[in-house]
Amino acid sequence: MREARFMNLTRLAVLGLLAERGPRHGHQLRRDTEVAEAERWGGVGAGSVHRELRQLEAEELIEALRREKVGRWPERTVYGITSEGRRELSVLRRQAVADVDGPPDPLSVALVFAGVDAPSELAALLVRRKEALLAKAAQLAQERARGEAEGYLLASVSPLQAASFRRAEARVAAELAWHEDCEQLLGLTTNRPRPKSADATPEETAQD
């Protein structure tokens, strides 16, 4: 289980894109990750795509299919995934989905090893963290509303992308629920309103 925590997610993304979308050159793959903002939520840096391509080719998980030139752009190598690359993608996918521990948790380390003189400082820091999460929840609700309006976050159009986005919302909601419990444990009281959900009815909004 621990190996999934430190797995190469750029490798997973590149192999997955080639398997799903067919042969592509490095610039296309980089743009795919940039458009998906994969660095923000998945740690897949667009700048590491070309380096990963070289490594994947050296391991014969992808292969150069042809050289392609469009307009004034320089020639680019178009890559395709090999049968061995598909097996590697299957292994990486299993590892990623099986990981229930997640990455190292800085907040838990800060709480467990806070030090005896830290409660008041931690309380203030937690208030600011909750405010940031409230802002994040509101942002996600707006992004989902826009994505559903434009069609790319509709479950009927892209169920896996919609599921991934809903997971991001659920994680923020869970963190906010934890903050409510933590405030009680630490004796804090905050009366800040929760963000309005994109699914809130006019009656619920009026009651708030």
Stronger pLDDT, 20 or 187, i.e. the higher one: 20
pLDDT of residue 201: 45
Q: How confident is the model at residue 58 (pLDDT cuts 50, 70, 90)?
A: very high
43 vs 10: CA distance, rounded Å: 8
Question: Could you say which of 72, 98, 124 is where a domain stops?
Answer: 98
Is 110 contained in some domain? yes
Is 117 contained in some domain? yes
Q: What is the pTM for the complete model shown?
A: 0.69
Considering the domain architecture, whether residues 74 and 158 belong to the same structural domain is answered as no
Average pLDDT over residues 35-54: 88
Which range among 116-120, 127-131, 200-204 has the greatest average pLDDT? 127-131
Looking at this protein, which amino acid is placed at residue 83?
S
Q: State the greatest distance between any 2 C-alpha atoms of the chain, in Å, as a whole number.
A: 65
Question: Could you say which of 98, 122, 144 is where a domain stops?
Answer: 98
Answer for the pair 53, 14: CB distance below 8 angstroms, yes or no: yes
Q: How confident is the model at residue 198 (pLDDT cuts 50, 70, 90)?
A: very low
The domain total for the chain is 2
Looking at this protein, which amino acid is placed at residue 71?
G
CATH code of the domain covering residue 55: 1.10.10.10
Considering the domain architecture, whether residues 122 and 75 belong to the same structural domain is answered as no
Considering the domain architecture, whether residues 77 and 124 belong to the same structural domain is answered as no
Considering the domain architecture, whether residues 151 and 168 belong to the same structural domain is answered as yes
138-164 residue pLDDT tens: 999 999 999 899 888 888 888 988 998
Average pLDDT over residues 60-72: 90
Could you list the residue range(s) of the whole structural domain that residue 80 is in? 2-98
Is 205 contained in some domain? no
Question: Position of tokens 């659920």?
Answer: 170
Whole-angstrom CA distances from 198 to 81, 115, 169 are: 39, 40, 11
Average pLDDT over the chain, rounded to an integer: 84
Considering the domain architecture, whether residues 194 and 111 belong to the same structural domain is answered as yes
Give SS3 for 150: helix
Q: How confident is the model at residue 184 (pLDDT cuts 50, 70, 90)?
A: confident
Least trusted range by pLDDT, from 128-132, 135-139, 194-198: 194-198
Is 118 contained in some domain? yes
pLDDT of residue 93: 93
In degrees, rounded to 5, the angle at the alpha carbon of residue 8 between the alpha carbons of residues 7 and 12 is: 110
Considering the domain architecture, whether residues 58 and 146 belong to the same structural domain is answered as no
The number of beta carbons lying within 10 Å of the beta carbon of residue 155 is 12
70-104 residue pLDDT tens: 778 789 999 999 999 999 999 999 999 888 887 78
Question: Position of tokens 């392609």?
Answer: 68
Question: Could you say which of 47, 82, 98 is where a domain stops?
Answer: 98
Residues with Cβ within 8 Å of 144's Cβ and at least 6 positions away in sequence, in order, are 153, 165, 166, 169, 198
Considering the domain architecture, whether residues 143 and 185 belong to the same structural domain is answered as yes
pLDDT of residue 1: 37
Considering the domain architecture, whether residues 154 and 136 belong to the same structural domain is answered as yes
The number of beta carbons lying within 10 Å of the beta carbon of residue 20 is 10
Identify the burial level of 15 via C-beta atoms within 10 angstroms of its C-beta, where 0-12 means exposed, 13-18 middle and 19 or more buried: buried
pLDDT of residue 161: 86
Whole-angstrom CA distances from 153 to 21, 134, 164 are: 19, 22, 10
Considering the domain architecture, whether residues 72 and 14 belong to the same structural domain is answered as yes
